[in-house]
Amino acid sequence: MKRVLISTRMILLFAAALFLSCGAKQQTSEARPSLSIYPASEIEQIEYDLLSYVISGEYVLPPGPKSEIEAATGIDEVSRDSIKLVIETITNGNLDSVDSLRERTFEYLRENDITIDRETFDDFVKKNLKNYRLERKFNFRFGYGLYTPDYDEDWTWEEFYQKFPRFVGTTCVSRVGLNNDRTDALLYIGRQQDWLSGTGVIYHLVKKSGQWVIRSRILQWIS
């Protein structure tokens, strides 16, 4: 298996390019270029499974208070003792220059900060040059929704929480980079609960004895 050393600083450069749809969003409307959205059929189930595994283990919180509808009807909007999660429907990608990224990668190999299969990193970069539409194929033990924010109009977190009263902010995800034998993975998850409350993290996972484990967490941004 061919392995190379990809530095944490290099991953930070990549995350800056990923920082599009789920980051420190502004309260005022800004011009946003139209996105070419690629079909959900190109996303493999293993990608949903790995994203579900990380989100479930890293971001699960206790359930919030019941909404007025739930209090009045006695019916939980999802399932009892679950949390609610909103995932943005478009993957977070659209890098400007994969060639430039690869050139800078080699400059930092000697730093030896983190060991990743080269094919995993290349697959991660290649997949995230485009934006893809997500489907309801995540494997959670709690209810979740898919949400497409309208960045062409002014909106507030107050309006968001009026629409989704018990959801804990929004989550955006990248596609998952994988090596050929599916034992090494790289993915990005961003979480935002308010204008100045959020984080973005790149996760490096490896498969050991048939089980996926998180090997590295690389914080990309915090607001």
Looking at the whole model, is its pTM more than 0.75?
A: no
SS3 assignment, position 48: helix
Q: Of 17, 22, 1, give the one whose Cα is nearest residue 172.
A: 22
For residue 209, which phi and psi values (nearest 5 degrees)? Answer: 50, 40
Q: How do the domains of the chain map onto residue ranges?
A: 3-22+36-222
* Greatest distance between any 2 Cα atoms in the chain: 61
pLDDT in tens, the chain (223 residues): 555 444 444 444 444 444 444 654 443 333 334 557 888 888 999 999 999 999 988 876 555 556 666 566 665 554 544 546 778 888 875 444 445 555 555 344 445 466 778 898 889 888 988 889 899 999 887 778 787 766 556 777 787 777 777 666 788 899 999 999 999 998 989 887 777 778 888 888 999 999 999 988 877 778 7
Q: Which two tokens stand for residue 105?
A: 């990668």
Q: Read off the pLDDT of residues 99-145 as tens digits, 9 standing for 90 and up.
A: 555 555 534 444 546 677 889 888 988 898 888 989 999 988 777 87
Region of residue 210 (left: phi > 0; alpha: psi -120 to 50; beta: else): left
Residues paired with residue 146 on neighbouring β-strands, in sequence order: 87
Classify burial at 205, counting beta carbons within 10 Å of its beta carbon; exposed 0-12, middle 13-18, buried 19 or more: buried
Residues 117/176, Cβ–Cβ less than 8 Å: no
Q: In sequence order, what DSSP letters do the residues of 79-131 get, joined into one string?
A: -TT---EEEESB-S---S-HHHHHHHHHHTGGG--EEEEHHHHHHHHHHTTSE
Q: In sequence order, what DSSP letters do the residues of 164-220 get, joined into one string?
A: STT--SEEEE-PPEE-TTS-EEEEEEEEEEETTEEEEEEEEEEEETTEEEEEEEEEE
What does the alpha-carbon distance between residue 186 and residue 6 come to, in Å, rounded to a whole number?
12
The C-alpha torsion from 121 through 124 and 127 to 128, rounded to 10°, is -120
pLDDT value of position 223: 78
